[in-house]
Amino acid sequence: MNDHHNHHKATYIKMWIALLILTIVTFAAAYADFGTMNIVIAMAIASVKATLVALYFMHLKENNRLNQVVFASSFLCLLIFVGLTLADTEYRDEELQYISIEKIAAPAGNENALHEKYKTSSPELLAQGKTIFQQQCALCHGESGQGNGPAGAALNPKPRDFTSGNWTQGGEPSHVFQTISNGIPGSSMSSYANLSVKDRWALAHYVRSFASNPPAETDESFASSKLIVKEDASAGQAKGKLPVDFAIELLVEEAK
């Protein structure tokens, strides 16, 4: 009897250690990015922990065969459910990223019409851009946009001097917008995609105002900025699509 008790005690200690290790692995996995595999890994760890608890703490291992079959069948159903859900998520992922531009109230035959209010500078946009620049950019680029801000001295490469008229990523409004949105890899220029779409356009126009003769936006430059993803209409797809966050903000602006 005493040996049996000691055996159970040793088993419980082993299971407790195993569950503790799996819990630590769960926390560690939460800080890693495995894409869609994150949910698979999390579910796998949770399943192992649940199995250990059911088998050893709930004594299912020592129970009759019918209970074991029910338990195993439940996990099989869970596996099928998770697998089908992941497959559906993978299939829909690309469609979820975009919204057809036709769903936005734009004049027929001119899907870029909604950009006109953004890609054309205005006193309102410049004033808004100046406020954002002073809050977000002046520390590195300087109040006058010459790349001589107090934090810029320690950066390599140095912050862009907007008064020079040199634009490594293109100086048209749409290209500056993309630079602000995506940042520049290999430099200290990080992404400011956390700003709203209108704020980024306003900032793009204000940054361009430092240059004496910034390049004007053309149909070609706007198309090359890839703000709108073009697809083959013959394949049954919409001719143009906008990122969801962009489209939502445009809809809000149109409703004002």
Residues 94 and 129 in one domain: no
Q: Is 172 exposed, middle or buried (0-12, 13-18, 19+ CB in 10 A)?
A: buried
Residues 123 and 175 in one domain: yes
Residues 85 and 122 in one domain: no
pLDDT 10s digits, 55-112: 776 666 666 666 667 667 777 777 777 777 766 666 554 544 544 444 444 443 344 5
> What confidence tier does 25 reach under pLDDT thresholds 50, 70, 90?
confident
| For residues 141-166, average pLDDT | 85
Structure tokens that stand for 66 in this block: 């019918």
Most confident of 24-28, 31-35, 189-193: 189-193
* Residues of the domain holding 28: 2-99
- DSSP state for residue 115 in the 8-state scheme: G
Residues 146 and 79 in one domain: no
Number of domains in the chain: 2
Angle value at C-alpha 52, between 51 and 54, nearest 5 degrees: 65
- H or E element that contains 127: helix 123-136
Tell me the whole-structure pTM to 2 decimals.
0.49
Cα 69 to chain centroid, rounded: 42
Residues 32 and 75 in one domain: yes
Lowest mean pLDDT among 7-21, 51-65, 104-118: 104-118
Residues 93 and 200 in one domain: no
Q: What's 146's domain CATH number?
A: 1.10.760.10
Residues 122 and 186 in one domain: yes
> What confidence tier does 131 reach under pLDDT thresholds 50, 70, 90?
very high
Residues 173 and 222 in one domain: yes
Which residues touch 64 (CB under 8 Å, ≥6 apart)? none
Q: Which residues face 240 on adjacent strands? A: 230
In a domain, 170, yes or no: yes
Lowest mean pLDDT among 86-95, 100-109, 171-180, 242-251: 100-109
